[in-house]
Structure 1
Amino acid sequence: MNVNNIIRCLWILFLVSACQSNPHEANRFPSEELVVSQMDSLVKASELPGFVAIAVNNEGESITYTFGNAIWNEESPIRANNIFRIASMTKLITSIAALQLVEKDSLELDEDLTGLLPEMASIPILTTEKEYIHGKRPITLRSLLTHTSGFGYFFTDSLLAEHDATDWNYEDLPRRFEAGSQFLYGTSTDWVGKVVEKISGRTLEEYFRENITGPLGMNRTWYNVPDSLKNEIVSYGHMGDDGTKELSEYPDRIPENETQFYSGGGGMFSSPEDYTKLLYCLLNNGIFEQERILQEETVNQLFTEQLEGISMDIEQNYFQQGLCCNFKGLIKPTSNWGLAGLIDTETTAYGRKEGTLLWGGIFNTYWFIDKKSGIAGSIYTQYLPFNHPATTSLFDKFSQIIYQNYNHH
């Protein structure tokens, strides 16, 4: 082979190598400098003391943005591995746990749960006439996962807010309607947690550690944060009943006592880095670093609309001030619900695709998984009331920056 042929072969090999490696050399996400330049002024204007946002794609590439302090009254730069109260973001983990049991044939989505949890099935329905009746339709795992079981929160239903529990001998507030007939966001996922504990014989803390958080390496995700990590917990607070007051910090940043009640609907602590592992796992069809926590078919069910003939137009719903501004902008009349969260049935103006699964926690933490675009993201602040515009506007802006500057190669 002459010199020219050798040079030609080497050049071809170089081009082939460059073509093969190029997609992985450059992160598809916008640069950190671009994100910082567009986010910093907005976060400063919001006057939020601490803020974290992360996005990840289905290749495992990610972009992280942080601003402010972890402990509000100290010089303590916030990090993506600080620990936050994730509240209802616990629901995604609980839903995954229940679906793991479905995969193992330990229960079915549409079986009557009366025999398993008679204490749940016996809870009466409170009618609009303020009368108590016993339900006729069975409560199923599907109705619990989709918040169509009739269970609500005292801060999402006016009759439940007025309910007198003086002589109430049941484990939960009354239901508000027959299972499968309406949507009401509430304690359904708490009951899913009880289902998981009853079938597995483990507490939720134990079950999650053995089957979800442990395998995914989510070592900062707990109900009871280990002593060695407690200093990583960030401050949290409130902005008054109407969300317009100066942010005030709660005194119990680090819980004094361990909880013995593991709520399937809330109560966990996690870090943004930890929770991103979970989001990436679902974006990657249930696998994270060779660890499979759900079958691909089950993951697809998470993104499948479950509500047929049930409206999610909650514009007139009751919301208790101080806890929840409302669901406006988060839940739309066209929205639906999957087996683990809200499904947005519309593509956003900045490009997040229809079919995106999303939800959040009451202290203004939010997540989304857009499988069609191959992008998931989450943001973290720590204050009440929920769905506060200071945070949701930043959620939208961060998402907009990600989508409008994303390199699809």
Structure 2
Amino acid sequence: MPAEFHVELTRRRLLSSGLWLGAGAGLAGLPLARALAAPQPLPWTNVTGLIDSYVAPRKLAGAVAAMGRGFDPAQIIARGTHALDNPVPIGADSLFRIYSMTKPITGMAAMILIDEGKLVLDQPIADLLPKFAKMQVQAVPDGSITELVPATRAITVRHLLTHTAGLGYSIIQTGPIKTAYERAGVVPGQVSRTQARGMPDVPTAPSLAEFADRLAELPLVYQPGTQWSYSVSLDLLGRVIELASGQSFEGFLQDRLFGPCGMDSTFFRVPASAAARLTDNYGVDKTGLVPLDPAGNSIYLDAPAFPFGGAGLVSSPRDYDRFLLMLLGKGVLGGKRVMSERAVTVGMSNLLPEGAATAGTMVDSAGFGAGGRVGLGNTSGQFGWGGAAGTVAMVDAARGVRASFYTQYMPSNAYPLHADFPKAVAADMIALAKGA
């Protein structure tokens, strides 16, 4: 692969850009109730145009949008194929590496346990993981890892949910702390079976328990509760979920979310029976698309070191829409209750600790809930997040809309789709409302 691609991928590998929700501001005051009652199908002109603008010139091999109004089945807008050299049409059941769109799923799993009293939102995680009882913090963020000060407060479940625990991320941090994370194998994500130049060749911790133990030995980057900083906190939350539930993290997700939601195409490892539905992932450089993780030789056909609660899942547009539909239904899907209304409502609310700084981050001027960005003000009711390979999803409880977008390219900032997709959704809703 070209060197410039490796440099950028090294700097932002697995980085999952935050979903920009501000596009919904223009919807305020429009007659959306009548718009939502309009008969299906809708043209979704702007969304379709956005997809066509990338797939027709083969900037992307394929792309899918799943658009839902109220509790109607999602409309699927699909263009292109599973790969540049694979003629199989892409569609609602194609499989995509959703990376950090895993985080809201992990967050909502924790909300189930909080609602059941097995966890408490402001409970110190040291109650379950004693090694986190006396954490040390870098005196200067991303500075020395020997010049440390004691943590002034305990890391809580709330902090893990909202990226305010003070933990780091090897895709974010620089200097000695980044190197320490890599050497300790607390790099919870995967890209390809092939080692890319410029990327650390270090083994990931062999289990979720070992991951947590190794993480506890490293200094924090920030004092807990003081700064929003993208981190491995949702991966660590997977271990907390295991201990609180008495089940494996993967087993808990299957029993409490995937099974009840009918999400039978969401995996940490793609089984052989579903391998033909996996799409290729590409790197983007100045020459175009470069094969990065071909479906036939994908690392997602292998068992991961452990289930990565921050960036580990593969899913289909149809499956993830069912998760969004459950959230829109305040925990009910298909007439069956999956989560309590309280658990969903709290999980989609702003859970940031009071005083936590967000200026200049991916959640500047927004809130953050159970693993996803939360809209405030005119965007109140919106909840969602994006993934490192171009996927993005949101649910707008205030307007009864759910929208998600699926394609495969890295790094996610090679194209502005994380911002442009919500804008296209908002433009279509505004056009619909004005014409209602």
Whether TM-score is above 0.5 comes out as yes
Matched, 1:344 2:370: no
**Runs of 4+ that moved beyond 6 A:** none
- Contact 1:100–1:294 (CA<8 Å) still a contact in 2? yes
Displacement of 1:401 after TM fit? 4.6
Equivalences for 1:239-318 in 2 at 5 Å? 239-240=284-285, 244-253=286-295, 254-255=298-299, 256-307=301-352, 308-314=354-360
Equivalent position SS for 1:70: strand
Between the two structures, name the one with larger relative contact order (CA 8 Å, sep ≥ 6): 2
- Contact 1:143–1:180 (CA<8 Å) still a contact in 2? yes
Q: Which one is further off, 127-136 or 35-44?
A: 35-44
CA deviation vs aligned residue, 1:266-321 (integer Å, no higher than 9, x gap)? 11110011000000110111110122222112211123222332232236xxxxxx
CA deviation vs aligned residue, 1:78-102 (integer Å, no higher than 9, x gap)? 0111111111111111111111111
Tell me the C-alpha RMSD between the 2 structures.
Answer: 2.7
Residue equivalent to 1:12: none
Counterpart pick for 2:169 among 153, 159, 162? 153
Unaligned runs of 5+ in 2: 1-35, 186-209
The two structures have a TM-score, normalised by structure 1, of 0.81
- Contact 2:284–2:414 (CA<8 Å) still a contact in 1? no
Which has the larger helix fraction?
2
Structure 2 Cα separation of the partners of residues 167 and 83 of structure 1: 31
Displacement of 1:252 after TM fit? 4.7
Equivalent position SS for 2:258: coil
Structure 1 residues 121 and 61: CA distance shift in structure 2, 3 A: same
Structure 1 Cα separation of the partners of residues 153 and 408 of structure 2: 39
Displacement of 1:230 after TM fit? 1.2
Amino acid at match of 1:149: A
Equivalent position SS for 1:334: coil
CA deviation vs aligned residue, 1:15-68 (integer Å, no higher than 9, x gap)? xxxxxxxx97822x5237886467524543571111111111222242211111
Residue equivalent to 1:183: 228
Q: Percent identical across equivalent pairs?
A: 28
Equivalences for 1:9-408 in 2 at 5 Å? 26-27=39-40, 30-31=42-43, 36=48, 39-41=51-53, 43-45=55-57, 47-128=59-140, 130=144, 131-159=147-175, 160-163=177-180, 171-172=214-215, 173-240=218-285, 244-253=286-295, 254-255=298-299, 256-307=301-352, 308-314=354-360, 331=362, 333-345=364-376, 347=378, 353-392=379-418, 394-396=420-422, 398-406=424-432
- Contact 2:115–2:342 (CA<8 Å) still a contact in 1? no
Structure 1 residues 395 and 388: CA distance shift in structure 2, 3 A: farther
The two structures have a TM-score, normalised by structure 2, of 0.76
Structure 1 Cα separation of the partners of residues 58 and 415 of structure 2: 9
Structure 2 Cα separation of the partners of residues 371 and 196 of structure 1: 26
Equivalent position SS for 1:114: helix
CA deviation vs aligned residue, 1:314-369 (integer Å, no higher than 9, x gap)? 36xxxxxxxxxxxxxxx35312212231123354xxxxx33411211111111111
Amino acid at match of 1:68: G
Unaligned runs of 5+ in 1: 1-22, 316-330, 348-352
Structure 1 Cα separation of the partners of residues 137 and 73 of structure 2: 48
Structure 1 residues 304 and 178: CA distance shift in structure 2, 3 A: same
Structure 2 Cα separation of the partners of residues 152 and 245 of structure 1: 33
Who wins on radius of gyration, i.e. which is larger? Answer: 1
Displacement of 1:405 after TM fit? 3.9
